[in-house]
Amino acid sequence: MKWWVKWGITYTLAHLPGGRILHHKMVRSFGELAHLESSTRFANTEILLEMAQRQCGTIEGKIVAELGTGWLPAVPLGFFLAGARLQTFDVVRLAADEIFAKTRDILASRTAEISRASGVPEETIRARLQQIAAADSLAAACEILDGRYHAPYDTTSLPFDSGEVDLVVSNLVLQCIPNDALPAVLAESWRILKAGGVALHRIRMSDEYAADASDRNHLEYLKYPDRTWDRWFNHSLKHINRLRASQFLELFEQAGFRLIECRRHTDFDSIPFLKQLELAPQFRNLEWDDLATVGIDVVLQKEA
Ligand SMILES: C[S@@+](CC[C@H](N)C(=O)[O-])C[C@H]1O[C@@H](n2cnc3c(N)ncnc32)[C@H](O)[C@@H]1O
């Protein structure tokens, strides 16, 4: 699909009464949710489980807060199967019951991968799947596995005591939080973490409208000044802050985190394209590699 068709439909629905409901229907019928088995979210979950296992030794019994549940709850369910006591939060309630059920079924076909990523025996994972076999919603499954699904919820004020949480995780969420809200969300995750606790964030930094579109480079969105971007591309159905890797890393440091690991995914092939693009003023003093970094997986620590 041409990028501007995708953009036009989303923009129109965001400004129509009842547009949110129509948008939800469209995403479920034609988007990634229509082909759940090929969704990258399952592989993403295994990456996060591996990162968590490497940092914490075991995920079993750990208190975990997930930011940004989303539509397809593979990450929260994956952590539950690995034994976490998890609470998941989103500003919008998106995890529909039928998507929850399909996600659980797909996870049931990936127990070997989850076991490998989390270090938890496959029989234990299967036993936990059995426990939630009759659950009809994500909220019900969370309750059974000693957790909770909170949405809509303000993630700048989470229901944990200071220092209560072992792990904060998010998958493809921080790029969706408005610039003016992000410092408060990071400060809140720092507050709830134990001293020595870690936050794992996977962040994507490219234009979602350009994904799978042959008529647009996924970094072309860096040409718009903020005013234009906010006016035409950010709305109630989608928000992308366009922060670059160096800017995220600076915000993490300002929130008090120590960066332990940062895996970068840089699209070096797009650098010649960027060099001929008229970049918006706020991106002009950044390095080419930084501008072309389209994803980072970070491990942050609240120092003991
Ligand atoms: C691209 S989706 C990713 C969802 C999910 N983590 C996944 O992997 O599929 C981004 C999610 O972030 C959520 N979000 C946006 N702002 C947020 C905030 N301030 N706190 C928590 N979640 C937020 C959105 O509602 C949306 O569900």
**pLDDT (tens digit, 9 = 90+) per residue, 192-223?**
999 999 999 999 999 999 988 888 999 999 99
User: From atom 22 of ligand 1, which residue's Cα is the shortest distance away?
Assistant: 68
Q: In what order do the strands lie in the sheet with 193-204?
A: 148-150, 85-89, 63-67, 165-171, 193-204, 293-301, 258-266
From the alpha carbon of 72, which atom of ligand 1 is closest? 9
Q: For a pocket test of ligand 1, which of 176, 179, 236 has the largest count of ligand atoms closer than 8 A to its C-beta?
A: 176
Taking only the tens place, the pLDDT of each residue in 138-191 is: 999 999 999 999 999 999 999 999 999 999 999 999 999 999 999 999 999 999
Helical ranges in the chain per DSSP H = 3-14, 19-30, 41-56, 74-81, 97-108, 111-118, 122-131, 138-144, 182-192, 226-232, 245-254, 271-276, 288-291
Indicate whether residue 218 lines ligand 1 (CB < 6 A): no
Question: Which CATH class, in words, describes the domain spanning 3-214+225-267+294-301?
Answer: alpha beta
Q: Is 63 helix (H, G, I), strand (E, B) or coil?
A: strand
Question: Distance from CA of residue 244 to its chain's centroid?
Answer: 16
Amino acid identity, residue 299? V
Indicate whether residue 185 lines ligand 1 (CB < 6 A): yes
**pLDDT score, position 34:** 85
From the alpha carbon of 68, which atom of ligand 1 is closest? 22
Q: For a pocket test of ligand 1, which of 36, 71, 173, 236 has the largest count of ligand atoms closer than 8 A to its C-beta?
A: 173
* Centroid of ligand 1 to alpha carbon of 259 (angstroms): 22
Q: In the chain, where are the structural domains located?
A: 3-214+225-267+294-301
* Centroid of ligand 1 to alpha carbon of 123 (angstroms): 31
Q: With cut-offs at 50, 70 and 90, classify the pLDDT of residue 84.
A: very high
Indicate whether residue 103 lines ligand 1 (CB < 6 A): no
